[in-house]
Amino acid sequence: MTDDRDDLIRQLTIRLRETVEENDRLRALVTNLTEGANAHQTLQSLYRNADLPESLRAKCAAASLPHETPRLEPVQQLELKAEPPPIPLAELVTLQRARVDRMEREAKQIRVLPNGQVLVLDEPPGACAR
């Protein structure tokens, strides 16, 4: 039973030494990478380093994100009107009738010859036989 405990203590001691060595190595690496750098450059060098743990790289990337890409801000809503306001039906009918009357007054009689030539006649509308 004491052999099991001694063996467990030995394994834990070995694991602790490995963890301390890795911690010292990472601290030395961070010190080396951050010499003469500002905070943003430090974060960039850390999240770009593939040798570092993913959790540390993700934290550094998240911390540097606001400095690398602009925040999305709300944009003032534009007051666009795609169509004119609707015309009341009675007024629309009056306008269309006036338009038809104007077109009838200005209408010209034409004749298309077999060769495709178009002749504009001087006769008033309705005077020409069909």
H or E element at residue 101 = helix 89-106
Q: How many CB atoms lie within 10 A of CB 64?
A: 18
Compute the distance between CA of residue 86 and CA of residue 89 in angstroms, rounded to an integer: 9
Compute the distance between CA of residue 105 and CA of residue 101 in angstroms, rounded to an integer: 6
Query: pLDDT (tens digit, 9 = 90+) per residue, 31-56?
Result: 776 677 788 888 888 888 888 889 98
Query: pLDDT (tens digit, 9 = 90+) per residue, 61-80?
Result: 888 888 888 888 888 888 88
Which residues, listed in sequence order, are joined to residue 120 by a DSSP beta bridge?
A: 110
For the chain, the domains span 8-68
